[in-house]
Amino acid sequence: MNLPDEKLHESAALLSALRGELSRKLIGQDDVVDHVLIGLLCNAHVLLEGVPGLGKTLLAKTLGKTFDGQFKRIQFTPDLMPSDVIGHTFFDAGRNEFVTRQGPVFAQLVLADEINRAPAKTQSALLEAMQEQQVTLEGRPIPLPRPFMVMATQNPVEQEGTYPLPEAQLDRFLLKIRIDYPEPHHEIELTRQVTELRSGATLSVDDVQTLLKPEAVVELQHASANVTVDERVMEYAVAITRATRDTPGFSRGAGPRGSIALVRAGRAKALMAGRSYVVPDDIKAVAIPALRHRVAIAAEAEIEGLSVDGLIATLLENVPAPRT
C-alpha cells in the first residue's frame, strides 16, 4: 500500500517538530536524535552507549514528554531481580486472594539505565517484553501498552561489576547508538543552558512540548511501515548484511535480523526525510548503528587497531549500490 501524500506530509511535519524538541535538550547530537526517532517509528528498541554525562537519560525523559507517553526508569544494579522488572503475584491476606503487581516494564517508554550492571537472568527478563510486547506472570500473558519502546543505556568504559548483554538480547535492539562528546561550541551552549539562572546541575524537561498522543505515535509507525522499498534496495540491504559474513576482520557476521533492521530503519529514515520510498542512501545512513552490535571483530583486526564501525564503513564502500 502506497503512503498518501497528505499522510506523508503530516508525518514528516510531526517528526520534524519532534526532532526539534529533542535537539533543544540534546544539543549537537542530531544523528543520535534521528536514530532514536527511527527506533520509535519502527516500534523497536535502541541501545545507547556513551560515558556518563552525555544526556542518555535526558534524551529518554524528553522523548517520553513529547508524546505524552507513560515513562518509567529502571536502574539496573547487580542485586536487581527479574520480578523487580516485570512484576510479581502475591497473596493479599486482607482481600484473601492473589494479586498481580505489575513491574515498571508496563509503560510505553522504558529506560533500562545501565542495563549491563544487572546479571544475565535479570537482563533476560526484558527479552519477552522486547520481542513479544507482552509479559507472562504466573503463566498468564499480559500485553504491554502501545507503543512500547525500551531505551537501554550502558557505559563502554567501566567494565568492573558489569555483565555483557547476551547475544540474543543484543539482537533484539534495532540500533546500537553511540553518543560521543559534543563539539566545543555545542558544549558551550550546553553549559550555558545548565548553569544560567539555575542552582542545580541538570536540565529540566518541564518546558518540553507535548506534541502528540500515544495513538498518534502508533499511526506514525503504520506510516513508516507503508514506505515503499524497491526490490533492488531490498537486495542492497541483504547484500550489505551478507558481506559482513565474508569480510576479513569480522569473526562473526550479522544474521538475517541485520537485513530486516536495515530495511525497517531505512523506511523510517525515508519518512523523516519526507519521502514515501527508500533510497540506497537511507540504508547506508543506518547501516552502522543497525549492524555494529550484530557482528564481532576478529582478534587480529583489533590488534591492528581496527574497529567494528571502521570495518562496516569500509564494507559499505565496497558493496555496490543500485543507481537507478
- Give 126-157 pLDDT, tens digit per residue: 888 888 888 887 778 889 988 999 999 887 76
Q: Which position has the grid cell 522504558? A: 110
All structural domains of the chain with their residue ranges: 1-193, 227-324
Instruction: Identify the segments of the chain with pLDDT beneath 70.
Output: 1, 91, 98, 157-161, 197-203, 324
Q: Residue 64: its pLDDT value, please?
A: 86
Q: Residue 61: its pLDDT value, please?
A: 86
Gap between the Cα atoms of 227 and 229, Å rounded: 7
Mode of pairing for the β-strands spanning 296-297 and 109-113: unpaired
227-324 CATH? 1.10.8.80
Under CATH, to which class is 1-193 assigned? alpha beta
Q: Residue 172: its pLDDT value, please?
A: 87
Q: Which whole-number Å values give the CA distances from 273 to 11, 15, 241, 266, 270, in the listed order?
A: 10, 9, 24, 11, 5
Q: Which position has the grid cell 563502554? A: 156
Same fold, 1-193 and 227-324: no
- One-letter amino acid of 35: H
According to DSSP, the residues that pair with 277 across neighbouring strands are 228
pTM (2 d.p.): 0.89
- Are 103 and 83 in contact by the 8 Å Cβ rule? The answer is yes
**Per-residue pLDDT tens digits for 77-118:** 888 888 888 887 776 777 777 677 888 899 999 999 888 888
Mode of pairing for the β-strands spanning 296-297 and 250-252: antiparallel
Q: Residue 233: its pLDDT value, please?
A: 96
Cell reading at 167:
547475544
Gap between the Cα atoms of 321 and 266, Å rounded: 14
Cα 285–Cα 286–Cα 291 angle in degrees, nearest 5 = 135
What is the DSSP code string of 246-292?
TSTTEEE---HHHHHHHHHHHHHHHHHTT-SB--HHHHHHHHHHHHT
